[in-house]
Amino acid sequence: MSEQTFSLPEHAPFGHEQKVALDALLPTLSPQQASWLSGYFAHAAQTAGAAPAGTAATASAPAAAQAAAPTVPLTILYGSESGNAEGLAERADKAAKAAGFRSAVFDMGDYESSRLKDEKNVLIIVSTWGEGDPPERAVDFHEWVMGDGAPKLEGVNFAVFALGDTSYPDFCECGKQFDKRFSELGANRVMERIDADVDFEEPFNAWLSAVMPKMVEVAGVKEAVAAAAPEPAAVSAGAGGGFEAPAFAPPAEAGYSKNKPFPAEVKDAVILNGRGSAKETLHVELSLEGSGLTYEVGDALGVFPENCAEVSEHMLRCAGFRGDEIKEIDGEYLTIQEILIGGYDVTSLNKSLMTKYAAAAKNRALDALLQEENRSKLNDYLHGRELCDLFYDFPSVDQISVDQLLGLLRKIPPRLYSIASSLKAHPEEVHLCVGVVRYDTHGKQRKGVCSTFLADRRGVGEKVPVYVHVNKNFKLPADPDTPIIMVGPGTGIAPFRAFVEERAAVGAKGRIWLFFGDQHFQSDFLYQTEWQSYLKSGVLTRMDVAFSRDTDRKVYVQHRMKERAKDLYAWLEEGAYFYVCGDASRMAKDVHQALIEVVAEQGGRSAEDAEAYVKALQKERRYQRDVY
């Protein structure tokens, strides 16, 4: 197709700013697009009574444009814990509008469930959290859809994109449940659900490019556009005529991002625990100078680690490789050991990976373990084991190839750490508070991939690939005078250090109450001198601590909350925001239950009413959690 050149003549009836804008737009138009616009405005002129150019026809163009505005609705529902599903929903919204839909995006926590029966077209983008659970703000909507009171959804077109992590047994379970339930309620599945692992960009782009044309077809967008468009050439004709949905390429990214991480220099790294501690907590300071990266308190930092050479070497030996086998990657010849260190996850073990390996290994014991009747045995086996154990315990009958090995593995995923600093307090820096993971299971020493990468394999002056991960669900109140209550035991203290630094930097007047807990006062009081300084200056209003191993009775943060129930409830009644950061499996659940009990006791409410009070806090975003 020959290249076309568009330009406006000098006498064209447009102002200077209009001519500049049009001169920038017109060269980008394809012949199809130019033809469509020509027909569109010709039709507008006819509607206006063939008025002279630049007068009535021009004035009628807005009316014609309004008549051609999208009329076919599409609702995009997302359930997000860390922000990934939300970001993808926003991209889907742009694609839907480009395809001719009148689209709208809703967090499941903000969506009015009663509207669902009246929807026509729905896209669901949802992550799975914990043991196959929905994200926190999606819990109520999920329970309602799964319950007996959910309405019939005949006439609703839908499709699901599910996010998950194959290192967890209930991979993408929440997305699977929504997909199945919508179908049970009579909705029309436009295309099969796609389940994406932590490296979700490529699957999402493929899903979006496939689902949008299908939605256009079943929802009648082509007919709606054709009806609203002018006669001449109407809209660009595809194979089916009338309308052709655009292709949806991933958005162009400027600067550093997850797909292009910034090599941040380590400025400082110190262990926060004192002598005799059973823990190893690392404070890391990274330079963002020259990156252009910014963040808000509450956001997370994504870190791309490299594998420990010893760990990857041991895994290769268990799989029957020497480690010096050569493979060509993009014209470069590398050893399999070199490829694995920076490129692949060499530790995570899950049923999906085991199933793929079993097809090549032809190991009868492994085949038996993967049978459905042995599910509990499989779960027991997976607990605390890594990839090396699979190769050692279930050797392949024939040596697997390098390509087969790489086909089993996923790309090494980044780790997200709650940012422990404020840019206002530390310009062009970002700080992390990292619990270094080392433990023994099944007779082997194990180590956390990213935590030991930061602790052992990256020293001061060396570089760490990072990017900023926005977390819209964990933010300070817009009003700096609003009181806040923060519960952060262990490394859960990280974002609250950032919160306090931020409020100190802006001179906020809002009261701040911190609950902190760990094992021992003498060795595990993280950032102790900083908290003492903030208390002395009045930036930090009050602080309650719980050190579980210093007394015969183990005392945790939830116990301190209940001891301070009267004041805690008074703060909530005065509009305080309540934040929790840390372990999701036990601590966050115990704190949640303690909060309900405080509300019930101090507010004179039944357990049911207290739960409703706490849910209202969540709905109003006055109760926010950053748990892992």
Partners of 545 in the beta sheet? Answer: 516
Residue 604's pLDDT is: 97
Who has greater pLDDT, 67 or 572?
A: 572
By CB atoms closer than 10 A (0-12, 13-18, 19+), residue 621 is middle
Which of 73, 110, 99, 105 shows the shortest CA–CA distance to 86? 105
* Structure token pair of residue 481: 């005078």
Residue 129's pLDDT is: 86
- CB 581: neighbour CB atoms within 10 A? 26
* pLDDT reading at 556 higher than 80: yes
Confidence at 247, pLDDT banded by 50, 70, 90: low
Confidence at 15, pLDDT banded by 50, 70, 90: low
* pLDDT reading at 574 higher than 90: yes
What's the average model confidence in pLDDT over 214-221? 91
- Range with the poorest average pLDDT among 43-52, 150-159, 546-555: 43-52
Q: What is the mean pLDDT of the chain?
A: 88
What's the average model confidence in pLDDT over 520-537? 98
* pLDDT reading at 334 higher than 60: yes
- Range with the poorest average pLDDT among 65-69, 226-230, 344-348, 350-354: 65-69
CB of 426 within 8 A of CB of 432?
no
By CB atoms closer than 10 A (0-12, 13-18, 19+), residue 33 is middle
What's the average model confidence in pLDDT over 4-33? 51
What's the average model confidence in pLDDT over 308-319? 96
* pLDDT reading at 532 higher than 90: yes
Confidence at 32, pLDDT banded by 50, 70, 90: very low
- Range with the poorest average pLDDT among 410-414, 567-571, 609-613: 410-414
Residue 27's pLDDT is: 56
Question: What end-to-end distance do the CA atoms of the chain give, in Å?
Answer: 53
* pLDDT reading at 385 higher than 80: yes
Residue 34's pLDDT is: 53
Residue 232's pLDDT is: 44
Partners of 544 in the beta sheet? Answer: 515
d(CA 616, CA 628): 23
Residue 237's pLDDT is: 36
* pLDDT reading at 66 higher than 50: no
Which of 227, 226, 228 shows the shortest CA–CA distance to 236? 226
* pLDDT reading at 239 higher than 50: no
Which of 465, 471, 460 shows the shortest CA–CA distance to 450? 465
Who has greater pLDDT, 342 or 79?
A: 79
Residue 51's pLDDT is: 39
d(CA 154, CA 173): 24
Confidence at 60, pLDDT banded by 50, 70, 90: very low
Residue 131's pLDDT is: 78
What's the average model confidence in pLDDT over 439-449? 94
Domains and CATH numbers, the chain: 16-67 (no CATH), 72-228 (3.40.50.360), 262-305+414-469 (2.40.30.10), 309-408 (1.20.990.10), 484-627 (3.40.50.80)
Residue 236's pLDDT is: 41
- Range with the poorest average pLDDT among 132-141, 316-325, 559-568: 132-141
Three state DSSP letters for 84-140: HHHHHHHHHHHHHHHCCEEEEEEECCCCCHHHHHHCCEEEEEEECECCCECCHHHHH
What's the average model confidence in pLDDT over 592-613? 97
What's the average model confidence in pLDDT over 15-37? 53
Residue 579's pLDDT is: 98
Rounded (to 5) percent helix, strand, coil in the chain: 40, 20, 40
In this prediction, what percent of the chain has a pLDDT beyond 90? Answer: 77
Confidence at 269, pLDDT banded by 50, 70, 90: very high
Three-state secondary structure call for residue 490: helix
Phi, psi at residue 468, to the nearest 5°?
-95, 130
* pLDDT reading at 482 higher than 60: yes
Residue 42's pLDDT is: 43
d(CA 426, CA 67): 52
d(CA 508, CA 577): 15
By CB atoms closer than 10 A (0-12, 13-18, 19+), residue 29 is middle
The dihedral sign for the CA sequence 615, 617, 619, 623: negative
Residue 240's pLDDT is: 41
Who has greater pLDDT, 2 or 536?
A: 536
Residue 37's pLDDT is: 54
Residue 146's pLDDT is: 97
Confidence at 8, pLDDT banded by 50, 70, 90: low
- Range with the poorest average pLDDT among 154-158, 251-255, 395-399, 522-526: 251-255
* pLDDT reading at 45 higher than 50: no
- Range with the poorest average pLDDT among 141-150, 241-250, 278-287, 396-405: 241-250
What's the average model confidence in pLDDT over 121-132? 92
Residue 26's pLDDT is: 60
Residue 603's pLDDT is: 97
- CB 165: neighbour CB atoms within 10 A? 18
Which of 76, 78, 80 shows the shortest CA–CA distance to 470? 80
Confidence at 167, pLDDT banded by 50, 70, 90: confident
d(CA 104, CA 197): 26
Residue 153's pLDDT is: 97
Who has greater pLDDT, 236 or 175?
A: 175
